[in-house]
């Protein structure tokens, strides 16, 4: 497989962690990064293939939310409240 150069700029802490993980797995950081990207892509494609179950299908459309509702922000607020964190 043809390779190309990619420059990343992680923190020193991340670099040291990557080196440690690669050494423990007897692999290179490049191979570890490649495996991670390919795995994420495979997972993403796999999720698309799973059809919604009958219960999920029956619940679709029950709740109406505003078009501009940001579920990520809502989840962040809920988790911050649950774990006593400040945003």
pLDDT in tens, 29-39: 999 999 999 99
Q: Residue 1 domain-assigned?
A: no
Q: What pTM does this model have?
A: 0.48
Q: Residue 77 domain-assigned?
A: yes
| Host domain of residue 57 | 12-83
Number of domains in the chain: 1
In the chain, the percentage of residues whose pLDDT exceeds 70 is 94
More confident residue, 10 or 48: 10
Q: How far apart are CA 57 and CA 51, in angstroms?
A: 9
pLDDT in tens, 39-60: 988 877 766 667 888 998 898 8
Contact at 8 Å (CB) between 77 and 87? yes
């Amino acid at each position: 497989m043809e390779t190309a150069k990619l420059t990343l700029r992680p923190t020193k802490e991340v670099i040291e962690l990557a080196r440690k993980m690669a050494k423990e797995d007897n692999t290179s950081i490049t191979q570890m990064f490649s495996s991670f990207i390919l795995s994420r892509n495979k997972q993403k494609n796999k999720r698309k293939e799973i059809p919604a179950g009958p219960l999920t299908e029956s619940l679709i459309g029950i709740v109406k939310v505003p078009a501009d509702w940001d579920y990520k922000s809502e989840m962040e607020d809920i988790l911050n409240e649950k774990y006593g964190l400040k945003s």
